[in-house]
């Protein structure tokens, strides 16, 4: 599989690709987040604006064709009173259906370097659906068996209920934007700081 991606061959290349367009990426995601926040209230800031201006696909349910993609969403955890901490802006790779929702890998539970490492390992160490290039339609072919080979994924595996995704809107990030999304500080942890969460995650693997 070493030659599957000729544009991004190692972690150094991935990091460089993030830095090369970091300012553009930050502005793009700031605008996306502002738009999604507006979209949660008045209908006029809904799907048509996001897709029309930013070519972002919005889905209301994870289907088979979405498995292995990357999604950004606003989330209101069902058991937030009992949870020690949780992410209100998950950046997830759904990998299996679950009653009322899905299981996903929220890479925000790792610090930026660790999440880059995990994403690169998943890209190079697992198969993909359809496209073999890291283009807008690229999706990972993930499973519990595959994930067991990547210990850093353990603290990232979460179950998400669609009824708790704000307005049931999930924003698909194209494969060629994964590096930018993974490198940006979009997490919003409740109850604890990001540094605390990352330290806890590291202790799990």
Residue 3 domain-assigned (yes or no): no
Q: Give the contacts of 104 (CB within 8 A, at least 6 positions apart).
A: 71, 90, 92, 93, 94, 95, 157, 158, 159, 160
Residue 5 domain-assigned (yes or no): no
Residue 197, domain extent: 11-203
CA distance 55 to 3: 29
Residue 85 domain-assigned (yes or no): yes
Per-residue pLDDT for the chain (205 aa), expressed as one digit of tens each? 444 444 444 445 554 554 444 455 556 555 655 554 544 433 333 334 433 445 577 788 999 999 999 998 889 999 999 999 999 989 999 999 999 999 999 999 999 889 888 988 888 777 777 766 777 888 999 888 889 899 999 999 999 999 999 989 898 888 877 877 787 777 889 999 999 999 999 999 8
Residue 60 domain-assigned (yes or no): yes
Nearest Cα to 164, choosing from 104, 84, 95, 116?
Answer: 104
Residue that has been written with the tokens 């610090």 in this structure: 111
Residue 141 domain-assigned (yes or no): yes
Q: Give the contacts of 14 (CB within 8 A, at least 6 positions apart).
A: 8, 116, 119, 120, 179
Residue 81 domain-assigned (yes or no): yes
- Give pLDDT, residue 188: 87
Structure-block tokens of residue 124:
């190079």
Q: For the chain, what is the domain count?
A: 1
Residue 2 domain-assigned (yes or no): no
- Model pTM? 0.76
Residue 143 domain-assigned (yes or no): yes
Backbone φ, ψ for residue 180 (5° rounding): -65, -45
């Amino acid at each position: 599989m070493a030659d599957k991606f000729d544009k991004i061959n190692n972690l150094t290349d991935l990091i460089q690709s993030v830095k090369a367009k970091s300012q553009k990426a930050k502005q793009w995601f700031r605008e996306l987040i502002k738009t999604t926040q507006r979209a949660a209230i008045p209908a006029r800031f809904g799907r048509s604006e996001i897709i029309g201006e930013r070519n972002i696909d919005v889905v209301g349910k994870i289907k088979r064709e979405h498995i292995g993609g990357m999604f950004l969403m606003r989330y209101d955890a069902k058991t937030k009173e009992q949870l020690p901490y949780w992410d209100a802006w998950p950046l997830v790779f759904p990998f299996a259906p679950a009653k009322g929702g899905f299981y996903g890998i929220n890479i925000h539970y790792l610090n930026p370097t660790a999440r880059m490492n995990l994403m690169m390992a998943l890209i190079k160490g697992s198969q993909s659906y359809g496209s073999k290039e890291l283009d807008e339609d690229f999706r990972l072919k993930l499973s519990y068996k595959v994930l067991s080979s990547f210990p850093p994924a353990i603290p990232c595996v979460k179950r998400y209920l669609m009824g708790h995704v704000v307005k049931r809107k999930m924003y698909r990030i194209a494969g060629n934007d994964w590096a930018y999304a993974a490198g940006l500080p979009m997490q919003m942890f409740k109850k604890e700081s990001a540094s605390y969460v990352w330290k806890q995650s590291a202790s799990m693997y």
